[in-house]
Chains A and B, each alone.
Chain A
Amino acid sequence: MERFAGLLDALVYTRSRNAKLKLVADYLRDTRDPDRGWALAALTEALDFPAVKPSTVRALLMERVDPVLFQLSREYVGDTAETASLLWPDPPAFGTPPTVAEAVDTLTHMTRLNAMVELAGLLDRLDAAGRFALLKMATGAMRIGISARLAKLAFAQAFAVSIDDVEEYWHGQMPPYRALFAWAADGAAPPVAEHVPHFRPFMLAQPFDGMEITMAEFAAEWKWDGIRVQIVHVASEVGGETRLYSRSGDDISKAFPEIVNAMRLPCVLDGELMVRGNHQGGAEGGAASFNALQQRLGRKTVSARMLADYPAFVRLYDMLSNGADDLRPLRWEQRRLALESLVPRLDPARFDISELIPVATLAELAAFRERARDDEIEGVMLKRRDSAYLAGRRAGLWYKWKRDPLLVDCVLMYAQRGSGKRSSFYSDFTFGCWTDDPDRGGELLPVGKAYFGFSDEELKWLDSYVRRHTVNRFGPVRETDRSLVLEIAFDSVHVSKRHKSGVAMRFPRIHRIRTDKPANEADLIATLRSMIRDAPL
């Protein structure tokens, strides 16, 4: 556990991606099974110990620390596990610290009845760094900037194997990944899950910054505003199995039974999951706004009503495999032909194809993209016609070209401390617009909240501004004197019954701090309303 705790701390204090990769790779190479496998699972948040919740940790601490002092500490530190690791009293003498495997074993066998005692027993054998590592592992919220992708890259680097192979073999493997380590470290045969509808890593696009490209080498299509999904169907004697994966590789099949049930052909497809409607792309576009899709996301079960009110479908972009044939090494245009010939065999209620935009020049495409806002489409995609389907974000192959954001001037009203590394900064900002001309008695009503869009420098400035202009405090929230104008960029604005202002923005972010602008010159709520494009909900 000390080595793992040391790794966690080193990762916390390391910014450079390469340095992080090296730290994880060194750890994986120099640590034995099964500790390294469990550690890897912990880093990628692949462990789940149902008996230990953040509330368990809190309850454990409440037995030892005054609740108010705990709460004040928690607010300051910004993280329950870290707060607990710092507040936990050092035992008079440390026993032998548990190994990662022992800790995992103990955590796995904990019940809600004995969790408090068992967890305390482990904590008593560890120093503050070890306690932090244990609690992070137990509650499954590492948040130390190690994505699953980074962990896989580190794994590839540690054993000098190809990252694409790692991605491919990883899926369907369970911690502590003995078969993966045996393959990568000891040259055993790779673990393959042939009859499992396993996930293939997505190919991603880079932002397009308007550089010169030869349009003839690229295909253009709309960038639809839903969530990117992969549909995988494998055939078998008992009728086959379909799974639906999100971009991160999470299995979301249960939330969208109508999609899963509609797929009967053995293949792997890439597309955008959306809800039927006439918001995006007008009547022909046939898709509702992202808000509508949100009604369906994150659900464990789906009611018949949900299925009827928000019917889902997938707009297909690409085809990764056809039966047993892996199409990924083929050129995009070959895969597109395969997809075009497949689509007529699919249920048209659940699957359609993302149409290409017929343009010959970038200038023409720019004009289409401008129109995208009227059609409520996020933007356009550019895909190199000769590009193989490669995992991750590859330079020069696929681009996303989003339409420009909308802008509005708002007044800062409240600020709240952030969490994690921003826990000591006021970094969550609520801003408002005027109900009417402020000189004629208009008031400010909150219209949104932004946590990002600013540089570290600007964050410091905003934090100190908030501290100097506080007029009221409500726990972690400060009310400011409403003197600062913020130019807010956002993607779209919708009618909202939950907000007093009646509007809600999507992806609001702080675009500029307008110290030059007096608060009474900020925008009216009516201005925001005029930017609403969706049909009233």
Chain B
Amino acid sequence: MVKDFSWLRAEPHGIYIVPASCWIDPAQPVDSALITHGHADHARGGHGTVMATPATLAIMALRYGDQALARTIEYGERLRLPGGVDATFLPAGHVLGSAQILLEHAGERILVTGDYKRRRDPTCPPFTAVPCDILVTEATFALPVFRHPPVEHEIARLIDARAANPNRCLLLGAYALGKAQRIIAELRLAGYSDPIWLHGALERMCRLYEAFGASLGELRLVSEARKDDLAGQIVLCPPGSLNDRWSRRLPDPLTAMASGWMRVRQRARQRNVELPLIISDHADWDELTGTIDEIDPVETWITHGREDALIRWCALHGRRARALALAGYDDEDD
């Protein structure tokens, strides 16, 4: 039998599993959705049945309130969907609760990675590579200029900058889900034991991570600090607050930002960042291409990001690939 994989379709608003009438990370409300992870461009509110890992469901509940019909799927658990489709959730190593979804139907295997990375992350289990026919991969950092340095290296730069500026407050912009908690956990692994100060918008997600077992050490809220408490301290805030009025309360802030985009100078400049830290929760170029090599699928489908470059790489390496035109994913967010 010729494999045609027509049972999985890329629609403008998500990946549609035809026999199961079920979507993966749909951008619009649908009756039945599998959600890879809690980032807002993948997990949206308003669906009917939502199937996701316990942590992802907890994150969605925190953001959108309880979902109408939530179904918990553990990593490795095989879920039988209508129409003879099996779905298995596997760790993606992206953020807490993040999953790849392995779909099996009529002897064909399609792996949807969602967002993923291959680097260490103390806050979530590592990416598991499994064999498949079709690999549906993200491509957020799919340009050969994106090579994230080791995270220890960037954390050391953060700690050094803090030591070199004892009178300034080190204000670090980091996304509220994933990046902030990973950086705190990495700081703790590097032996940083002082309290870490939070913008109010980060608090609930940090508490959620702790409830799922992350060790984040002593966290304090900026709203409860006196101005001079914060000199020489590390303060985390969402990227959007780096340059807004909120940051005026801080003593002479040294603005840092943790993101894979910081590899490109002009991107850091756009953010008005003095200390760009290249820390990403997405796979870099070597991880993306290495993962395709490792999984060695028959064909690679590319969802969102810089698909042109990854398609070119596949062509140069004799691999079949195509871009799925998906709308609504916001790759600026990491």
Contacts and interface: CB of A to CB of B under 8 A. Distances in A.
B316 interface: yes
Contacts of A420: 266
Contacts of A83: 145
Contact of B275 (A13, A66, A82): A13
Interface string A1-20: 00000000100111100000
A13 B145 contact: no
A497 interface: no
B273 interface: yes
A49 interface: no
Interface in B246-305: 263-270, 272-276
A421 B266 CA distance: 4
8 contacts: A13-B269, A69-B144, A72-B308, A76-B143, A86-B264, A132-B265, A424-B264, A424-B267
A87 B145 contact: yes
A78 interface: yes
A66 B316 contact: yes
A78 B275 contact: no
Nearest to B274: A13
B129 interface: no
Interface string B82-93: 000000000000
Contacts of B312: 66, 68-69, 72
Interface residues of A, number: 26
A402 to B, nearest CB: 30
B44 interface: no
Contact of A72 (B143, B147, B264, B274): B143
A423 B266 CA distance: 7
Give the contact-size bracket for chain B: 20 to 34
A289 to B, nearest CB: 36
Interface string A120-132: 0000000000001
Contacts of A255: none
Among A12, A65, A73, residue most surrounded by chain B Cβ atoms (within 10 Å): A73
B139 to A, nearest CB: 12
A284 B263 CA distance: 58
Nearest to A424: B267
A79 interface: yes
Contacts of B308: 72
The 4 A-B pairs at the shortest CB distance, nearest first, are namely: A86-B145, A421-B266, A72-B309, A73-B145
A13 B273 contact: yes
A158 interface: no
Interface of A: 9, 12-15, 65-66, 68-69, 72-73, 76-79, 82-83, 86-87, 132, 420-425
Contacts of B263: 86
Contact of A13 (B264, B268, B306, B313): B268
A421 B145 contact: no
Given A13-B275, A73-B145, A82 B264 contact: yes
Given A72-B308, A82-B264, A87 B144 contact: yes
A15 B269 CA distance: 9
A76 to B, nearest CB: 6
A478 to B, nearest CB: 14
Given A13-B275, A13-B276, A66-B312, A73 B144 contact: yes
Nearest to B149: A128
Contacts of B306: 72, 76
Contacts of A12: 265, 268-269
Interface string B132-144: 0000000000011
Interface of B: 143-145, 147, 263-270, 272-276, 306, 308-309, 312-313, 316
A78 B266 contact: yes
Contacts of B316: 66
Given A13-B269, A76-B143, A83-B145, 11 more contacts: A9-B265, A13-B265, A14-B274, A15-B272, A68-B309, A68-B312, A76-B264, A86-B147, A87-B145, A423-B264, A425-B270
Contacts of A82: 264-265
Contacts of B267: 424
Contacts of A9: 265
A223 to B, nearest CB: 34
A73 B310 CA distance: 12
Contacts of B276: 13
A87 B285 CA distance: 11
Contacts of B147: 86
B333 to A, nearest CB: 14
A83 B268 CA distance: 15
Contacts of B313: 66, 69
A420 B270 CA distance: 10
Contacts of B143: 69, 72-73, 76
A69 B142 CA distance: 10
A65 B313 CA distance: 11
B145 A76 contact: yes
B144 A421 contact: no
Contacts of A87: 144-145
A274 B136 CA distance: 63
Contacts of A13: 265, 268-269, 273-276
Contacts of B272: 15
Given A82-B265, A421-B269, A77 B274 contact: no
Nearest to B265: A12
B273 to A, nearest CB: 6
A86 B264 CA distance: 9
Contacts of A86: 144-145, 147, 263-264
A425 B270 CA distance: 10
A367 to B, nearest CB: 44
B110 to A, nearest CB: 27
A224 B276 CA distance: 46
A3 to B, nearest CB: 16
Contacts of A15: 272
B277 to A, nearest CB: 12
Given A86-B145, A87-B144, A424 B309 contact: no
Nearest to B264: A77
A203 to B, nearest CB: 32
A77 B145 CA distance: 8
Contacts of B275: 13
A445 B263 CA distance: 40
Contacts of B268: 12-13
A14 B255 CA distance: 11
B130 to A, nearest CB: 28
Nearest to A79: B266
A424 B273 contact: no
Nearest to A8: B265
A254 to B, nearest CB: 36
Nearest to A12: B265
A87 B263 CA distance: 12
Nearest to B275: A13
A473 B267 CA distance: 23
